[in-house]
Amino acid sequence: MQIHVKVNEVDYVHEVEPRLLLVHYLRDVLRLTGTHIGCETSVCGACTVHINKKAAKSCTLLAVQADGCEITTIEGLASNGDLHPLQESFRENHGLQCGFCTPGIIMTAADFIQQIPDPSEEDIRHAIKGNLCRCTGYHNIITSIKQAATKMKEEVTV
């Protein structure tokens, strides 16, 4: 079946098998390998991307379901070569170690900060509970997201 998608601002048309998962389409067909696969039960969140600007787990979507959608992956988060404030902040605060869960967490957080620009620690923990990290104990992830949110809010106010 033919699908038309826009991924990271680029239009693609591909013929795909209906059972092809969106995450495999992104990784194997488009070779956008920043979106990872960590489980098969829609729990770990390593595969999180934005579909029409909302966070979704691309392992629990068929590529055909994304037909006509706009998709953003971690590779498309930086704009004009400038890192997204979350990307900056994760580096600044040691919010990652092995880096495998990181793209998914950043994508989830990017959606969430849009909705709650001034999140508390509890808000952040609640927002990213659909993303598993085994390295950091989440401490520095919380700090990273909090700092990015503050920075983004300041930018908006300015």
* Per CB under 8 A, 48 contacts another protein: yes
Distance CA 1, CA 129 (A): 35
Residues in CB range of 14: below 8 A, 6 or more apart = 2, 3, 5, 25, 29, 63
Q: CB nearer to another protein: give 11 or 122.
A: 122
What's the token pair of residue 110? 């990017």
Examine residue 37 and tell whether it contacts another protein (CB under 8 A).
Answer: yes
Q: Which two tokens stand for residue 11?
A: 């239009």
Binding mask 77-116 toward another protein (x if CB under 8 A, else -) reads xx----x---x--xxx-x-xxxxxxxx--x-x--xx----
Q: Which residue from 138, 147, 148, 149 is in contact with another protein, where contact means CB under 8 A?
A: 138
57 sits near another protein (criterion: CB under 8 A): yes
